[in-house]
Structure 1
Amino acid sequence: MRSGEQRAASVERTLGSRQLATLLPDPAAARPAYRHLAEAISTLILDGRIALHARLPAERALAAALNTSRTTITAVYDLLHERGYAHSRQGAGTWTALPEGRAPSGIARLVAPRDAAIDLARAAPELAGQTLTDALTQITPEIAEHALTPGYHPYGLPELRAAIADRFTRRGLPTVPGQILVTSGAQHAFTLALGLLCGPGDRVMTENPSYPNALDALRRARLRTVGVPVTDAGWDIEIIESTLRQSVPQLAYLIPDFHNPTGALMPESERARVLHAAARSGTWLVIDETLAELALDGPSPRPFAAHASPGSTGQIITVGSMSKTHWAGLRIGWLRAPARLVTELAGQRIAGDMGGSVLDQLLALALLARAGELLPQRLERLRRQRAALTAALAEHLPQWKLRQPPGGLSLWADLGEPIGSALAERAMEHGVRIESGACFATEPGLFEQRLRIPYTTPPDTLREAVQRLAAALADGVSPALGGRRTHWIA
């Protein structure tokens, strides 16, 4: 039997010299050039922007594309071999690889080692232990009843589908259980939609910046992203309309509710325009509402699909989860879509996991039933934490610019110079894990002047984290070269 690496390599993936050159920094930007380029390629492999088991360009072709010497590229490939990021096949060139002991950055962002560092890399709240204990006690009799059944529910537990449908209806979007598919988180819902609706090479419109794990999913599906900007002022709807009209993407992925990472909230009037433009281009919309209920300065927005004209919601998929409102460890998400599409997606889902855990779904059902009690408590805690973070930043890092978001879980800080990756690396030495804005970019070289700073930890912890960031900055950091990003988690 062939190894996984051999099977993967049997599918031809060749990276063109010009394609790779557009992802790399100028060889003259740092010395020695070969080391600079090798580090950049290593980062791209970990990011998923260069696929694993892909054939790298011939040395001569890449040297010409980068306007450098072949000797330099030979040294680049030698260093990649030495560090485990490449291997050669006799007569077949050089292929990308994952070194022993390293993990793709998507995993690294989620799995942090247990140490004394303050973790500001993940915008995920904790669930109170007593709340979890009470919910588990409540569902114990139901678990016993379900244990007498086979336990397969590819669409999701019927009671949970009904509860999620009712949630949409109460928020202003009439929904029936047949329009709901329960998934293992919103990311699972998104990848199911990509697998059914898109093929390699299709265009997908995304915001820039956007959620890193969604961008990783697009890259690994070999889709072409078309970025539309989200700034401190929000979305430029004319650019979105123009992109939909001219690029005609197969699918668009948007986070209109307390956008991750900027925190922006799309106005209702702009939502209607996006829906109209997408309908005209025939583009499927995947709307990520994971953060929609985390409104801190006003009421929660209505579902995006509620702004569609009657009968025109046929190409809108809404995804959500309990990760941000309750606990990411629950791994319960969902999508709302036309009933026929839900059936097709459930059929696709069978090939992967045949259905979610009944225990988790019963627990989710119990927690959703207490949302009226639990969510206000969470929102008040987030308001206190947001206030503590903004006050600490104003005291210790007043030169940074930031806009207080009306909801969500994080601030999008402007550092004033492109030092995000360097500061994230230096912050590790001061006991703080944090992500540079470059992590959220659709392409290299962007948002190095930004940091996403979550306010999901207690106020005292946030104040300590800001003091450590200020100390890291005082140590001195240099602006990034070529949009390089440092990965601080193995």
Structure 2
Amino acid sequence: MAAALTALALSRLLGPWNTGTGPAYRELADVVRLLILDGRIPLDTALPSERALCAALDVSRTTVTAAYSSLREQGFLSSGQGSRGRTRIPELTPFGSALFGPQPPSTGALAAPGLTAPGLTAPDGLVDLAYSALPASGEVVHRAFAAALTELPALLPGFGYDALGLLPLRQAVADRYTAAGVPTQPGQVMVTSGAQHALTIIIRTLADRQDRVLVEHPSYPHALDAIRSAKCRPVPVAFAGSGWDLPAMETAMAQQKPKLAYLVPDFHNPTGLIMPDAQRRQLARAAAAAGTVLVADETLRDLNLDGTATTPLAGFGSTVVSVGSLSKSHWGGLRTGWIRASESMIQRFAAARTTLDLGGPVMEQLAAAHLVRALEEPLPALLQTLRRNRSALLDLLAKHLPTWQVAPPAGGLSVWCRLPAPISTALTVLAPDYGIRLAAGPRFGIGGAFERNLRLPFTLPPDKLEVAVLALRAAQDRLDAAPQLRRSLTQAPAVAIA
């Protein structure tokens, strides 16, 4: 039976929506739009009738009628029988729309004042919480490169170009998938210069301009950038409560027929959620029925802090394309990733790759082969450190920011916080004044969603995390004392992140 929302239930979700800062109908439409984007109003839900809602909100019929009309024009509300339309996600063009305005430039996000990528011109002394990444496992990485140096002379007589990647590394990656329950041959693996490079190759090969790509909402920002850069249309599907909304994803695939669906099923970035095997199987069936290729980003899969057992998504469907990387488990500076797919699809990726490069650097691949084969060596100590950091961050948030809602993630590198007010961008802009750098919640979404959310990595040691949380508390106190400042800062641009 299709879902429907009563006027009383919607009024509770709206909260104090009428702030008097603009026309009432526009404020009402804006809040309903964000509720849909945040997933608090699921897709395909019938909104209450105009008559019932104007009575519940104590506003004129004209206000509700105009708000519903605006939502229909923006594509968030279908034309329904009478005045009861159903919630939906609008069809976007790659060049923006009246709903979202111009899309970000294809080169990536703009940086907010004073917020730059680490390693470039970052101000000294800032505690960096914009990047969810780890320093290198130094001794292990150094040892792998030392071994690679002894192996390099045997390869020097060759040309050094290989679109698929070195066989020893492809074999090591294939062996790991086989051990995880997904039989894989080296011919099903292509080595890339990181996961972002892999995703770019996949999108360029399998999707054309204006093709739809289903994404979780929120999602990894650089994946959204890659989709926009290819002039494809992101189709966001919000999470439902504490997990994936499979009915909404099935509906989106059946109705919109996206070419691709980009997912992070293992310790999702930014929420930290992990998809159970039953949902993976259901999702793979729905994608096969819709003709949608599932792209599973598995860069965080090895960071399994609580030992949750799952099978890689590729174990449930032959059209799944898996993306992996050593950036999170070992070091981002390695710039080594891979694609796992059918052999025929790998050949297509290799042919398309030549428009980007002619293959990866040989030394890094030789070293990566050692790291992939010996992943269990650094992993236990790394997981122990991350568990300690996660516990410290959760305790600090509970003590100093008790109004923030945080669900402990079972793995990954960060927590996704629910803020007591829509202050994410404002906090991000103020953060450097308090010695920290943040990534605002809207950077993880589409259309300005997630102003009530903030991703906090637990990649730093407890003493640095304490400094960061105390700074967050001070910044929030400043915003609480100056509502006008909060409103002005919310219009700031987003920060670049990883």
Whether TM exceeds 0.5 here: the answer is: yes
Q: Find 2:242's aligned residue among 221, 226, 233.
A: 233
- From 319, 322, 333, the equivalent of 1:318 is 322
2:130 matched to which residue of 1?
A: 121
Residue among 217, 220, 223 paired with 1:214:
223
Aligned counterparts of 1:447 and 1:199: Cα–Cα separation in 2: 29
Offset of 1:127 from its aligned partner? 1.0
Q: What is the Cα deviation at residue 398 of structure 1? A: 1.2
The answer as to whether partners of 2:439 and 2:496 remain within 8 angstroms in 1 is no
1:435 matches 2:439: yes
Say yes or no: does 1:486 pair with 2:490: no
Residue 254 of structure 1 aligns to which amino acid in structure 2? L
Q: 2:418 aligns with which of 401, 414, 420?
A: 414
Q: Which runs of 4+ in 1 moved over 3 A?
A: 95-98, 102-112, 477-490
Q: State the shift of 1:485 in Å.
A: 4.3
Aligned runs of 1:291-370 on 2, under 5 Å?
A: 291-308=300-317, 313=318, 315-370=319-374
CA separation of 1:482/1:103 partners in 2, compared to 1, >3 Å: closer, same or farther? closer
Is 1:173 paired with 2:173?
no
Shift of 1:137: 2.0
Give CA-to-partner distance per residue, 1:324-352, whole Å, 9 cap, x none: 11111100010111111111111111221
The answer to whether the aligner puts 1:449 opposite 2:457 as a matched pair is: no
- 2:210 is matched with which residue? 201
Aligned residue for 1:217, secondary structure, equals helix
1:404 matched to 2:408? The reply is yes
Tell me how far 1:254 sits from its aligned partner: 0.8
Question: Could you tell me which amino acid in structure 2 is paired with residue 119 of structure 1?
Answer: D
The residue that corresponds to 1:35 in the other structure is none
* Alpha-carbon spacing, 1:489–1:249, altered in 2? closer, same or farther (3 Å): closer
Report the Cα offset of residue 128 of structure 1. 3.0
Q: Deviation of residue 369 (structure 1)? A: 2.3
Closer/same/farther in 2, CA of residues 124 and 447 from structure 1, 3 Å limit: same
Distance change >3 Å, CA 407–CA 103, structure 1 → 2: closer
Change in 2 beyond 3 A, CA 1:96/1:218: closer
Instruction: Give, in whole Å, the separation in 2 of the partners of 1:455 and 1:348.
Output: 37
Give a deviation string over 1:380-399, Cα, whole Å, max 9, x none. 11101101111111111111
- The one-character-per-residue Cα deviations of 1:237-289 (angstroms, maximum 9, x if unpaired) are 11111111111111111111111100111111111111111111111111111
1:386-420 CA deviation, whole Å, 9 max, x = no partner?
01111111111111110001111100011111000
Of residues 382, 385, 394 in structure 2, which corresponds to 1:381?
Answer: 385
Q: Deviations over 1:24-78 (max 9, x none)?
A: xx9x759xxxxxxxxxxxxxxxxxxxxxxxxxxxxxxxxxx9xxxxxxxxxxxxx
C-alpha distance in 1 between matches for 2:180 and 2:312: 7
SS in structure 2 opposite 1:435? Answer: coil
Shift of 1:149: 2.4
Superposition deviation, residue 153 in structure 1 = 1.4
Q: Could you tell me which amino acid in structure 1 is paired with residue 144 of structure 2?
A: A
Unpaired runs of at least 5, structure 2 = 1-18, 24-69, 71-101
SS at match of 2:449: coil
d(CA) in 1 for partners of 2:493 and 2:111? 10
SS of the aligned residue for 1:335 comes to strand
CA contact (8 A) 1:123 1:456 kept: yes
Distance 2:287 2:179 in 1: 26
TM-score normalised by length of structure 2: 0.74
Amino acid aligned to 2:216: E
Q: CA–CA distance in 2 between the matches of 1:257 and 1:267? A: 9
- Please show how residues 228-307 of structure 1 align to structure 2 within 5 Å: 228-307=237-316
Q: Which residue of the other structure, out of 459, 472, 475, is the alignment partner of 2:475? A: 472
* Deviation at residue 489 of structure 1 after TM alignment: 6.9
> Which amino acid is 1:131 matched to?
V
Helix, strand or coil at the partner of 1:234: coil
Deviation string 1:467-486 (CA, Å, 9 cap, x unpaired) is 11111112225455797443
Question: Deviation string for 1:110-142 (max 9, x for gaps)?
Answer: 665331100000111111332232222222211
Looking at structure 2, the residues matched to 475 and 207 of structure 1 have their Cα atoms a distance apart, in angstroms, of: 33
- When residues 469 and 296 of structure 1 are mapped into structure 2, their CA distance, relative to the original with a 3 A threshold, is same
**Structure 1 415/216 Cα, relative in aligned 2: closer, same or farther at 3 Å?**
same
**When the two structures are superposed, what TM-score results if normalisation uses the length of structure 1?**
0.76
Counterpart of 1:255 in structure 2: which amino acid?
A: V
What is the aligned residue count?
393
